Structure 1
Amino acid sequence: MNVREQTQKFESMMLSPFACLSADTAGRARPEQECPIRTPFQRDRDRIVHCKSYRRLMHKTQVFFYPVGDHYRTRLTHTIEVSQIARTIARALRLNEDLTEAIAQGHDLGHTPFAHAGETALRNIMGSFNHNEQSLRVVERLEKGGQGLNLCAEVRDGILCHRSHLKAKTLEGVVVRYADKIAYLNHDIEDAMRAGLLPNEQAIPLSVREVLGENSSSRFTVLVSDLVEQSQEKAEISMSEPVLKAYNELRDFMFAAVYRSKAKDEEQKVMYILEGLYRYYEKNPDSLPEEYRMIADEEGKERAVCDYISGMSDRFAVRSFEELFVPKSWSVG
């Protein structure tokens, strides 16, 4: 047996009966020769972390636009944290850690610049836009010059279904959905305190702190431990009722205190920028990069412009807007 086959044999012996084995993958849209070293899910993880869309996440907002300071989260650091939490849960439940990591690393590839404000702006323009659907489009259509990454069906499903109203076909995909929730609430609390929107962790409702604890470390421990305890040897992933209730209360608190706060007033400017860019490229599709002009020819210019703008980093979107709409200084001499 080669290394990959040994790994797959180990999976069949050691993983939970509810885990998704790499040897049992539904496969890729375009069949490929197997790697002698890596399993299909390991290859998918590597393809994701080496793609251009993944690198751009380092310059995409998580919550705060252009924050002053080096310690605020970006979409990339969020992705890394989701992956770490998801892997911890998957390992504890004896699920497929490689599949879990691949889904986690790819789940936000389609996120717009300026976080959910950008997503809302494109949704208003397009009539329908969701970052999870765009993440799937990135790996299926946009990466590698239009070829896509040709990922396994289970990874693509997990990427699409990481939002709450959808349910992945694998437990690994469900784990990533929960890990995403755990990650963003906890790190957004830290960033909100750094930004002065929350004075300290005592601002969190007492009813939440009594269940989840007084600090970030405690919240992580309680949420992850409860999820693992409730999901052991089961064909479903869940939290206990008290912990889920506390989590939902914390989420409601964060929406009121942070996500809809005065710090988000910049969202109107974001919508103005993205709509301006969209209208310009819609009228001037020849200004799009070549790969997006090809999409315009095949799927329509609206689709191409949406793909181009949604893939922009925050700073590239601002720079593009300035180049197109802000007069430059000049002199006669």
Structure 2
Amino acid sequence: MTVRERLEAREAQVLGKGAALAAHTRGREREIAPCPMRTCYQRDRDRIIHSKAFRRLSNKTQVFISPEGDHYRARLTHTLEVAQIARTVARALCLNEDLTEAIALGHDLGHTPFGHAGEAALNDVCEEGFRHNEQSLRVVERIEHDGRGLNLTWEVRDGIVCHTGGKKAQTLEGQIIHFADRIAYINHDIDDALRAGLIRQADIPGELRATLGDTHGQRIDTLVSNMITYGERTGGIGMDAEIHEAMLALRRFNFQSIYKGTKAQAEEARAMDMLRALYGYFYGHIDELPEDYRQLMDRDSRARVVCDYIACMTDRYSIMMYKKLFIPKSWNPFDD
């Protein structure tokens, strides 16, 4: 037996009834020879980690645009926190950790520069609309590898596109990511807001602290533990009603106290204007897109391809491109 075959046999022995076994994957859009060392989901995880889109997450805004300090989350650190939470739940419920991790690592690959402000800007100007979960799927199916995509398994792609929105993933592992994503961002955004002095611990409603916990660690532990006990009791993915409602109430608190109207978001309007301007420019100058993006127009509209290019930018690259296109250069009479 190969290493992969031994791993697949172990999955069949130790994983629970509802787990997605690597040996039973629905496969890839383009068939490839199995890897002798890795299961298909381990291979997908590695393909995501080695992708250009994954590397760019380190310079994409999570919530706070250009924060002063080294300890605020970027999109990459958010992704890693989602993966850690999701793996904990999957391991406890005897589900497939490798599939869970692959979906978690890929779920935000399509996010724009400047976080949800960038997403809103592209959704405003693109006639076809823009949603980051659909763009994440597009990154792994259409954009990476010069238009060939990463050729991931069906289960990973399903989990990526269904991590947010109204459609539920068809694997339990994919459903975990929907909850792990919320657990991560709700709590780490509070942690970052406390560090920035935007809120105080006492500002968090007392009933939510009583239900979920007083500290960052306690709140995550409560939510993760409840997902595990819920899964053990029901065989499904979710939370008890009281805990789930408390989590949603904490999310509403974030919108009122962190996401809207604070000094942390003072640069949002400028970032949105900048991305709208970049979209308008490249829509009118499609020949200035890099060749690997222009070739996407063999099957996709001009609007979609321009969105692809801008969404793939990092914060600093979009600023650099805006300066190059719209800010006059200083004239030096001594230059040749």
Task: State the TM-score, normalized to the length of structure 1.
Answer: 0.98
SS in 1 for 2:100: helix
For residue 41 of structure 2, what is the amino acid of its counterpart? F
Alpha-carbon contact 1:113-1:313 (below 8 Å) kept: yes
Deviation at 1:330, TM superposition (A): 1.6
Deviation at 1:235, TM superposition (A): 3.7
Rounded to whole Å, the distance in 1 between the matches of 2:266 and 2:104 is 30
Deviation at 1:164, TM superposition (A): 4.3
Alpha-carbon contact 2:62-2:115 (below 8 Å) kept: yes
Partner of 1:4: 4
In the alignment, structure 1 residue 111 sits paired with structure 2 residue 79 = no
Rounded to whole Å, the distance in 1 between the matches of 2:115 and 2:278 is 17
> Relative to structure 2, which stretch is displaced further, 229-238 or 245-254?
229-238
Matches within 5 A, 1:115-264: 115-127=115-127, 128-198=129-199, 200-232=200-232, 234-262=234-262, 263-264=264-265
Alpha-carbon contact 1:16-1:233 (below 8 Å) kept: no
Aligned residues with identical type, % of pairs:
53
Q: Per the alignment, do residues 28 and 297 of structure 1 end up closer, same or farther by CA in structure 2, a change over 3 Å counting?
A: closer
Alpha-carbon contact 1:18-1:234 (below 8 Å) kept: no
Partner of 1:62: 62
Deviation at 1:75, TM superposition (A): 0.2
For residue 268 of structure 1, what is the amino acid of its counterpart? A
Partner of 1:85: 85
SS in 1 for 2:38: coil
Rounded to whole Å, the distance in 1 between the matches of 2:311 and 2:245 is 34
Rounded to whole Å, the distance in 1 between the matches of 2:5 and 2:102 is 19
Partner of 2:31: 31
For residue 135 of structure 2, what is the amino acid of its counterpart? Q
SS in 2 for 1:166: coil
Partner of 2:300: 299
Alpha-carbon contact 2:230-2:236 (below 8 Å) kept: no
Deviations 1:214-235 (A, max 9, x none): 0011001100001100111644
Rounded to whole Å, the distance in 1 between the matches of 2:184 and 2:250 is 13
For residue 129 of structure 1, what is the amino acid of its counterpart? F
> Pairwise CA RMSD of aligned residues?
1.0
Aligned residues: 332
Deviation at 1:267, TM superposition (A): 1.6
Alpha-carbon contact 1:164-1:177 (below 8 Å) kept: no
Deviation at 1:328, TM superposition (A): 1.3
* 5+ residue gaps, structure 1: none
Rounded to whole Å, the distance in 2 between the matches of 1:149 and 1:13 is 30
* 5+ residue gaps, structure 2: none
Deviations 1:215-271 (A, max 9, x none): 011001100001100111644211111111211111110100001122323221111
> Relative to structure 2, which stretch is displaced further, 244-253 or 258-267?
258-267
Task: State the TM-score, normalized to the length of structure 2.
Answer: 0.97
Alpha-carbon contact 1:139-1:148 (below 8 Å) kept: yes
